[in-house]
Amino acid sequence: MQENSAMRKLPPYLFARIEKKIEEAKEKGVDIISLGIGDPDQPTPQHIIERAAQALRDPANHQYPSSVGMLSFRQAVAEWYRRRFGVDLDPRSEVVSLIGSKEGIGNISACYLDPGDTSLVPDPGYPVYGIGAILNGAEPYKMPLKAANGFLPVLSDIPTEVARKAKLMFINYPNNPTGTVAPDEFYHEVIAFARDFDILVCHDAAYSEITFDNHRARSFLEFPGAGEVGIEFHSVSKTYNMTGWRIGWAVGNRDAVDVLGRYKSNIDSGAFQAVQYAAIEALSGPQDCVAAMRRLYQERRDVVIEGLRRMGWSIEPPQGSIYVWAPVPRGYDSSSFAEAILEKAGVIITPGIGYGEYGEGYFRIALTVDKGKMAVALDRMYQAIGKVEFD
């Protein structure tokens, strides 16, 4: 049996390759420090776990859940948006639950894209944006994120004929992999562009709560007109160290929320209700754990920046996300540099090419080990390659 043409077009999933490299190195007895995958290393806060345990014991939660999510969960999401961003949402029509935001990001393409359509995707970017287009027979059009443009897409560079064929545009700030945050002017420009070409904007806001140096990220939906043209994806994964719990949401444009809910009702049964209760506790309970998490990641970021500067990098600290994005030194491409660091230092970093064509020439470090181990990893890199130079 042969898989269909869409599956044959798929590249190997980046993080699956990284996991394989880690496994191979460990089999050789290498003491590996992995700075590759953005999976928080801290435990889920205890009050959230306790609420989940309570919900687990309730037989009412052992049955099929609603595909769009419990109303109480959607109300908690709407209330969090009101408190955090000053955005008013109708929990019945403007919020839908997801089995993690990745599921919704993938499925929104299935809701809107037909063969021959175009989806505007950032490059470098989270691979799922473009994969959603490929799986539905559409074409992902790359919006280059370049250092010279502050790692923001230049919308005026998109050809008119491409924009007219586009149905979706994906944006993501604070950004993975670059750590960039977007200025207000950018969101206004995106909204105007989407109106002009009848495009649904899909904002991946997974890192909105992980910002540094007193920066406070904004929701796309805070901006006038955003709710007419956009939908925002979010989750508890990074904010509350709940990546394995698989619970998130999409909010915003009513038609987009409705079609995503209808699509989900045909392919899944929604998130386990005990997990929804845990997410309600996360969103509604004490938020000091979030502030502590931000401090922890900022400390780790500073260790990485100091270590890279010691080796010769001239690099500004990112203002958001859990990543540091840096250029590879002279004499390497992103893959050969990542391989050299693994072989010589026993440290996993992610080659930028894994995030797209315009990720070539960069690598990503995830801030997902404690700062002591992070310092060891940077020292190993220094011992392995010493001072570096750039073109």
Give me the numbers of helices (H) and strands (E) for the chain, helices first please. Answer: 14, 12
Task: Let me know whether 270 and 295 are in one domain.
Answer: no
In a domain, 336, yes or no: yes
Task: Let me know whether 89 and 194 are in one domain.
Answer: yes
How far is 249 from 236, CA to CA, in rounded Å? 9
The DSSP bridge partners found for residue 143 are 122
Average pLDDT over residues 180-197: 98
Average pLDDT over residues 282-305: 98
Work out how many domains the chain is built from and give that number: 2
Q: What backbone phi and psi angles, to 5 degrees, belong to 43?
A: -75, 160
Q: What is the pLDDT of residues 79-120, one digit of tens each?
A: 999 999 999 999 999 999 999 999 999 999 999 999 999 999
> Is residue 11 pLDDT above 80, yes or no?
no
CATH of the domain at 152: 3.40.640.10
Average pLDDT over residues 133-141: 96
Neighbouring CB atoms inside 10 A of 360's CB total 16
Q: What is the pLDDT of residues 312-358, one digit of tens each?
A: 999 999 999 999 999 999 999 999 999 899 989 999 999 999 999 99
The DSSP bridge partners found for residue 97 are 249
| Residue showing tokens 């403007």 | 94
Task: Let me know whether 235 and 261 are in one domain.
Answer: yes
In a domain, 391, yes or no: no
Task: Let me know whether 193 and 50 are in one domain.
Answer: yes
Strands 200-204 and 230-235: parallel
> Of all helices (H) and strands (E), which one includes residue 96?
strand 95-98
> Is residue 13 pLDDT above 70, yes or no?
no
> Angle of helix 288-311 relative to helix 371-385, nearest 10 degrees?
10
Q: Is 64 helix (H, G, I), strand (E, B) or coil?
A: coil
Task: Let me know whether 125 and 233 are in one domain.
Answer: yes
> Is residue 202 pLDDT above 90, yes or no?
yes
Min mean pLDDT across 3-17, 99-113, 374-388 is at 3-17
Please, what is the end-to-end C-alpha distance for the chain in angstroms? 49
* Closest C-alpha to 43, from 295, 245, 205, 206: 245
What's the pLDDT at 112?
98
pTM for this predicted structure: 0.95
Strands 350-351 and 95-98: unpaired
Average pLDDT over residues 212-236: 97
pLDDT band at 20 (very low <50, low <70, confident <90, very high): confident
> Is residue 17 pLDDT above 70, yes or no?
no
Query: What's the helix, strand, coil split of the chain in %, to 5?
Result: 50, 15, 35
> Is residue 37 pLDDT above 90, yes or no?
no
pLDDT band at 10 (very low <50, low <70, confident <90, very high): confident
The range of the structural domain enclosing residue 33 comes to: 5-43+289-385
Average pLDDT over residues 213-236: 97
In a domain, 390, yes or no: no
Last residue of some domain: 231, 254, 284?
284
CATH of the domain at 305: 3.90.1150.10
